[in-house]
Structure 1
Amino acid sequence: MSMIFPLLLILFFVLIYFTIKGLKKKKENITTIEILIFVLYMLSFLLFGIGLITHSNQHTDAIDPVDLECYIPFGEKHIITLILYFICFNISAGFIWVKGRKLPPLSLVLFLIFLFIGIVINSAILIQITTHNTETLDVYKENIGTFLFIFTPALSLIIAIGLLIKVIKEEKIEAKNKTYKNKFINYCNTFLADKFNESIWALLFLIPVFITITIILMLFGQDVNSISKVFTDTTTWALSQKSHPPILDHKGHYLCTVAAKGSPDIVKPIRLGKRHKNIIIVNRQLQIANAFEEMITDISPKLHRFIRSNYDKYGYNLSLKINSKMGSNITYILMKPLEWIFLISLYLLCLNPEKKINKQYKI
């Protein structure tokens, strides 16, 4: 694993090198500043990717900040909408940068529309990631997320505005250089050159194109307001409107506790509970295991100390290796036979087994 990251980094820079080489052939008179901005933009993708790796949890997930986990600034269900506009924006920016006014009029207008939409979305992303409230995450006090995410939308805005200025200037120069023998037509051309260039047409058609794309996205399971929900269906970020579950108690990462981090439809969380003064997620399996442990304590404290010492010795280290959603789901399933043994034992030896089970981790 330690060798994979340097290799990927080398491949990334090799890709940038050959991309620049190809651009020099396609685009005439490419400047050093343009190359520098392109390289910085590509590097911002790398930082953004690292940000997504370290901030990959949805607002419904219970996380442990000790494991350097945090919440993603985009809603999972609606992220397809964001990805589509991201792709359209970058393709449009690329074509306008390389071809400029040499593009067919309709293509240029369409690319400008995506540039305008990109400006709005990147502004929203900037607002979203500049505020990251980690106070509810206890030990996670650093706000490295903003640093990792900020460069891509910021550079996108700079590039988009720069390309718009470039197109407007080129259009004015081209329109003013055109002359017609007919005075009336010449007057109309001059008037329209000042009032209605491709940028204006792009603004006029922006809403119809946006509505069309929204309808297409709805056919693929997106909501009519996915473009706003992708920011609001999150937690800890500026535009977030959701709250996250209590953070996991990293001192209680034993097999049953880890199971509470799994998929809700599998591990079946039932309520919140308290363990060592920390709020945790409780499921039936965890309650049964703890009730069984309590019963062993009542019957034989010495046996309980022996079991607990071994569980403390191996349980935590093992839990670190399975501390993920998939690992927790597998753990929950593997623990099922043991859960049934615990439950049968409770019903055999306890007068009120359900009462003992239900009182576990009461707040």
Structure 2
Amino acid sequence: MNKRNISISLIIIAILASIFLGFDTVIVFIQAIGLILFFLGTPFFLTFKNILYLSSVYHKKSTSHAITDFWTIFLGSLFSYLLLDISFHVTNSTWSEVVYNSERHQILWSGSFPSIFLLTIFVFGGYFLLNYASFQSFPPLVTVLAISSLYLGIVFCLTWMIQLAILAQENDAIYLFLYLFPINLILIFIRSILYTVIQWPDYCAERPFSRKIPQSWVKFLNSAPSLPLLALLFTLPLLGFIIMITILLGQEPDSLIKAWTETSDWTLSQRIAPPNAYYDEHYLCTVGASGHRKIVKPIRMGVRHGRRVVVNRQLCIANAFEQILEERLPKIHLAIRCLYDRYGYPLSRHIKKAWQADIIYVLMKPLEFLFLAVIYLHDSKPENRIALQYISKPPFTP
């Protein structure tokens, strides 16, 4: 079947689908397929391009190399962030903070961010020097240090992959997508090093070393393998220089190590985090209690379905009101509960962020005042009923 017949077949299928399913449904379906192909296909396409460029490193660099590198770094960072946030629920909470439900603590300790940021500057500074500046125009030691910085970048990427390896225990193959970004960075760094090594003998021929240097040394320095070996020797001194700067910035000498170890939930973690608290994602008031502390004002931990949950006053009032409603008007309570389960659940199940929970908490305030008025009109000791909510396993789920 030629291309023309394929095109005609696709057009006929699209027309028939529009007739039977509706035009809007077809458009939504096409958009969904496009997004899936973009998010799944782009990482593999960029990986293929970087492998191709690495295999053809002896050829002259072109503009396409720079374009591919840019999209690899930009989209790789974006996709990794979205995947960690949406699929694995990674938060910015330190190991000592309580997270909720299936959330995870941060991968890198935030206390070491200045050190990580400085290391990143050195790594990508070396990358830009080797790729977008003529290394023939600056001293040889600068070229050596630029390659040393890329060595540090490769070590960082490998450590990142080790840190994420614990996700393999969940038998969820989607975590493999998180490896594509560091693998592509390693490919880019290796390509940059190899290109510089290949050009090194020509550079030495144009700028010969001093005659005072023994000929055996000159022969070694003019050879291509000398450059990566010298860079390897200078890697530790460069790392020591970076650590000295971080100490001047107020960081501890081992901050780059603590970046990995002062965490929980990950392969290199050395800390044990407090157990996750739980809130029922089916109900608006319970979701609202998971907002920012200054806004939702949690008062204590409670017990619900055998799990520890965060409890604030709004949640206790809503639960107490439903308790009264079920005692006095069971049929009305059942109707309201069915209605709420039908329409409230689709909304509350999508609330995953603290700021979203804050909005729910504020929107529920008028109902909270109404519930509180009913409780005060019904009970002689209303605060006792409110205080007893979630003390033990409750039979109600507001």
Q: TM-score, normalised by structure 2?
A: 0.65
The residue that corresponds to 1:114 in the other structure is 149
Displacement of 1:29: 3.2
Amino acid at match of 1:151: L
Counterpart contact for 2:316–2:389, Cα < 8 Å: yes
User: Counterparts in 2 of 1:85-234, with a 5 A limit?
Assistant: 85-97=119-131, 101-105=135-139, 107-132=142-167, 142-145=172-175, 147-161=176-190, 163-164=192-193, 185-187=213-215, 189-190=217-218, 193=221, 197=230, 200-201=233-234, 203-213=236-246, 215-216=248-249, 218=250, 227-232=256-261, 234=263
2-side partners of 1:117 and 1:304: how far apart? 63
Displacement of 1:320: 3.7
Amino acid at match of 2:289: A
Counterpart contact for 1:171–1:197, Cα < 8 Å: no
Displacement of 1:28: 8.9
- Alignment pair present for 1:293 and 2:322: yes
Choose from 254, 268, 281 the match for 1:239: 268
Q: In 2 relative to 1, CA 270–242 (structure 1 residues): closer, same or farther, beyond 3 Å?
A: farther
The residue that corresponds to 2:7 in the other structure is none
Identity of aligned residues (%): 27
1:8-43: CA deviations, max 9, x gaps?
959x89xx8xx99xx9xxx993379x9789858955
The residue that corresponds to 2:107 in the other structure is 73
Q: In 2 relative to 1, CA 247–191 (structure 1 residues): closer, same or farther, beyond 3 Å?
A: farther
Q: Which moved more, 1:47-56 or 1:169-178?
A: 169-178
Counterpart contact for 1:246–1:280, Cα < 8 Å: yes
Secondary structure at the aligned position of 2:302 is classed as strand
- Alignment pair present for 1:55 and 2:84: yes
1:158-215: CA deviations, max 9, x gaps?
5445655665676578669987896x54358549847994553454343123321554
The residue that corresponds to 1:30 in the other structure is 60
1:106-162: CA deviations, max 9, x gaps?
542442343233233222211111112776xxxxx62523x1221222333354456
Q: Which moved more, 1:106-115 or 1:148-157?
A: 106-115
Q: In 2 relative to 1, CA 162–181 (structure 1 residues): closer, same or farther, beyond 3 Å?
A: closer
Counterpart contact for 1:78–1:229, Cα < 8 Å: yes
Counterpart contact for 2:119–2:242, Cα < 8 Å: no
Displacement of 1:64: 5.7
- In structure 2, the gaps of 5 or more residues are 1-26, 393-398
Amino acid at match of 1:288: I
What is the aligned length? 336
Secondary structure at the aligned position of 1:115 is classed as helix
Secondary structure at the aligned position of 1:282 is classed as strand
Q: Which moved more, 1:321-330 or 1:122-131?
A: 321-330
2-side partners of 1:339 and 1:226: how far apart? 47
Counterpart contact for 1:215–1:224, Cα < 8 Å: no
Displacement of 1:281: 2.7
2-side partners of 1:116 and 1:245: how far apart? 38
The residue that corresponds to 1:262 in the other structure is 291
Supply the RMSD in Å over aligned alpha carbons.
4.7
Counterpart contact for 2:109–2:259, Cα < 8 Å: yes
Q: In 2 relative to 1, CA 248–148 (structure 1 residues): closer, same or farther, beyond 3 Å?
A: farther
Amino acid at match of 1:93: Y
1-side partners of 2:210 and 2:369: how far apart? 94
Q: In 2 relative to 1, CA 323–123 (structure 1 residues): closer, same or farther, beyond 3 Å?
A: closer
- In structure 1, the gaps of 5 or more residues are 136-140
Displacement of 1:84: 5.0
User: Counterparts in 2 of 1:299-338, with a 5 A limit?
Assistant: 299-320=328-349, 322-338=351-367
Secondary structure at the aligned position of 2:167 is classed as coil
Q: In 2 relative to 1, CA 237–185 (structure 1 residues): closer, same or farther, beyond 3 Å?
A: closer
Counterpart contact for 1:122–1:154, Cα < 8 Å: yes
Amino acid at match of 2:180: F
Counterpart contact for 2:73–2:185, Cα < 8 Å: no
